[in-house]
């Protein structure tokens, strides 16, 4: 992937939990909430003593405020993922700032704004764009990019499904891959609550979302790992403001 340079404007880009993170992972869930899946996800997480980090789309959170309240009450971290699910890096700095601010304004109804703030943009657009970094730094000083180290690739699973048994098999295959990965301990793991995209297989998105969480939490138990909320990095080397690897 190489190195991207800036004149000192890169925010920290996090892909793992800081420190050794023994026995821990951070499950991060984009595009929530949804009334037909999120309550089931919250119950599964509770059953395993797991805490997740949700990056919420304002357009989905607005009609589902009670679910947002439930997420916070159960100890999960919630951050903004924009309002509509559009490429905010391509929409211009004003739209980027307005969408993030509108979503965060909704979330402050349920918890104080975290500091430092963790940012994840739709489709992770612009994480190597220095204008996006400068715009976010001006909006929320000290914020950090919540990238990930491992992806469940769940945005593609439903495209391979034509039946419920396909869902179980395809989710199990992705979970087996992750369970065998030596980088799983300490990893920030990307997953979705019904990914917002135009790909085929939309009818199976709810089943994929719930099945994948069920199987992944079982795999974490087998590996002796528990999901904890993603936390900001305590500090970054000075050169990371100039060089993004
Ligand atoms: Zn998203």
User: What is the token pair recorded at 47?
Assistant: 């059953």
Each residue's pLDDT expressed in tens, for the chain with a length of 245 residues? 688 988 778 889 999 999 889 999 999 999 999 999 999 999 999 999 999 999 999 999 999 999 999 999 999 999 999 999 999 999 999 999 999 999 999 999 999 999 999 999 999 888 899 999 999 999 999 999 999 999 999 999 999 999 999 999 999 999 999 999 999 999 999 999 999 998 888 999 999 999 999 999 999 999 999 999 999 888 777 788 888 88
- CA 131–ligand 1 middle distance (angstroms): 20
- CA 159–ligand 1 middle distance (angstroms): 17
Residues of the domain holding 9:
4-244
Q: Say if CB 48 and CB 39 are below 8 A apart.
A: no
User: What is the token pair recorded at 201?
Assistant: 């297989």
- CA 56–ligand 1 middle distance (angstroms): 8
- CA 138–ligand 1 middle distance (angstroms): 22
Which residues lie below 8 Å from residue 232, measured CB to CB, with a gap of 6+?
Answer: 12, 14, 116, 117, 118, 144
- CA 195–ligand 1 middle distance (angstroms): 6
Q: What is the CATH number of the domain that holds 70?
A: 3.20.20.370
Question: Is residue 93 classed exposed, middle or buried when 0-12, 13-18 and 19+ CB atoms within 10 A define those classes?
Answer: middle
- CA 192–ligand 1 middle distance (angstroms): 7
Number of separate domains in the chain: 1
Question: With a threshold of 0.85, does the pTM exceed it?
Answer: yes
- CA 126–ligand 1 middle distance (angstroms): 13
Rg (CA), the chain: 17
- CA 107–ligand 1 middle distance (angstroms): 17
């Amino acid at each position: 992937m190489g190195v991207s340079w800036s004149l000192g404007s890169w925010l920290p880009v996090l892909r793992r939990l800081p420190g050794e993170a023994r026995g821990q992972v951070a499950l991060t869930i984009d595009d929530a909430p949804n009334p037909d899946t999120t309550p089931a996800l919250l119950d599964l997480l509770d059953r395993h003593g797991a805490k997740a980090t949700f990056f919420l789309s304002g357009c989905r959170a607005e009609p589902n405020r009670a679910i947002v309240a439930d997420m916070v009450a159960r100890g999960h971290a919630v951050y903004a993922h924009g309002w509509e699910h559009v490429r905010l890096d391509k929409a211009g700095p004003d739209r980027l700032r307005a969408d993030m601010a509108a979503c965060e304004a909704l979330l402050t109804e349920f918890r104080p704004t975290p500091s430092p703030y963790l940012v994840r943009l739709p489709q992770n657009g612009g994480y190597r764009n220095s204008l996006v970094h400068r715009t976010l730094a001006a909006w929320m000083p000290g914020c950090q990019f919540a990238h990930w180290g491992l992806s469940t690739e769940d945005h593609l699973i439903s495209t391979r499904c034509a039946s419920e048994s396909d869902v179980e098999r395809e989710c199990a295959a992705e979970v087996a891959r992750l369970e065998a990965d030596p980088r799983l301990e300490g990893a920030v793991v990307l997953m979705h609550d019904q990914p917002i995209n135009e790909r085929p297989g939309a009818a199976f998105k709810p089943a994929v979302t719930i099945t994948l969480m069920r199987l992944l939490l079982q795999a974490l138990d087998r590996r002796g790992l528990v999901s904890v909320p993603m936390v900001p990095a305590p500090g970054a080397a000075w050169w990371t403001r100039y060089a993004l690897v």
